[in-house]
Structure 1
Amino acid sequence: MDSAPSSSTVSRTVILLLRVLTFVFLLIALILIAVTRVTEDTTDGPVEAKFTDIHAYRYMISTIIVGFVYNLMQMVLSIINVVSGKRVCGDFGYVFDFFGDKIMSYFLISGSAAGYGASEDLHTFFKAQDLPFNSFFAKANASASLLLVGFICNAIASIFTSFALPKKA
């Protein structure tokens, strides 16, 4: 007798894996943007730049933190769901997952777009002023890219949660 796992077990496991991946990418993006700081010596003296100096980077870090907290909560709920096979919030959990994942996906992509856009615009501006901040903007771009990958993982998890919704609604 073949004991293949049911499709709902596979789906719950895939959602958990996607949540773990999102968690990892957001954690790395958070660490990278938080340590992004550079001091460059110019003819006018040393110039320091850090992520808190740029509003778009502050928005990006806030989206990372909110996404991180939401994803941590969802990971705990997913682990309980995979281990016990039962939902903590009952059938309401399906609706919460669906809307929470959709909203969080849009929130994460807006943070990534803000960070990437600011990096490109400011890099061009600083290059025109002959201020060499290449490493600063490279780190900020890397953080925005990791946030984008976190968004993709969260968006795919959102698709899986939308599959479960019609069955339970």
Structure 2
Amino acid sequence: MAKSAASKIASLVLRILTIVLLLISLVVLSTNSKTVETDLGVAQIRFKDILAYRYVLFTIVIGVAYSLLQLVFTIFEVIRSSEGNLVFDFYGDKIISYVLATGAGSGFGVTNDMKQLYELGNFFEKSYASISLLFLGFICTAVLSVLSSYALPKPV
């Protein structure tokens, strides 16, 4: 089954939306820090001090890289009215959506656990905001995954 023009445009819009959501998530997460007063002095807590947030950052970067690559391919498909590589789209969208889902899940989990243990003001709220944007990026990629599965040729 060939990709329709509407399907190609929807893919293009969803890929752009995914990139925007993931880039905003990346900025919010990477700039998240908090200065706290301890018995030993002043300490700076940054996102990279928490291992799960590093994994979240990794998933965001992988998601942005893949989405940019696919955006170029999708633009090429729309301009040239070609099919592209349907199998690559199918498996790539599936894998990346799972990667983004695991990043969002680990981020939500560690933020919930750490928030119960430590009072760091708005540090965890910013983390929740970044991870929520990552989750929305996952939703877009999951929808793309469904669209790419419809484009695959049906067995005879």
- Normalising TM by the smaller chain, what interval? over 0.9
Choose from 116, 120, 123 the match for 1:136: 123
Give the TM-score, by structure 1 length. 0.86
Partner of 1:96: 88
Judge which range, 158-167 or 71-80, deviates more: 158-167
4+ residue stretches of structure 1 with deviation over 4 A?
A: none
**Tell me, what secondary structure is at the counterpart of 2:43?**
strand
Paired residues for 1:139-150 under 5 Å: 139-150=126-137
Choose from 24, 40, 47 the match for 1:51: 47
> How far did 1:140 drift?
0.8
| Superposed CA offset, 1:72-121 (max 9, x none) | 00000001111111145xxxx10000000001000000001111111110
Paired residues for 1:53-68 under 5 Å: 53-68=49-64
Give the TM-score, by structure 2 length. 0.93
**Tell me, what secondary structure is at the counterpart of 2:36?**
strand
RMSD of aligned C-alpha atoms?
1.8
Count residues in correspondence: 155
Q: Does 1:78 align with 2:77?
A: no
Consecutive unaligned residues in structure 2, runs of 5 or more: none
**Tell me, what secondary structure is at the counterpart of 1:134?**
coil
| In structure 2, distance between residues paired with 1:142 and 1:166 | 39
The sequence identity of aligned pairs, in percent, is 42
Choose from 21, 27, 38 the match for 2:23: 27
| In structure 1, distance between residues paired with 2:34 and 2:83 | 47
| Superposed CA offset, 1:34-64 (max 9, x none) | 0011102245432321011011000000000
**Tell me, what secondary structure is at the counterpart of 1:23?**
helix
Tell me the amino acid that sits aligned with residue 35 of structure 2.
T
Q: Are the equivalent residues in 2 in contact too, given 1:109–1:148 (CA < 8 A)?
A: yes
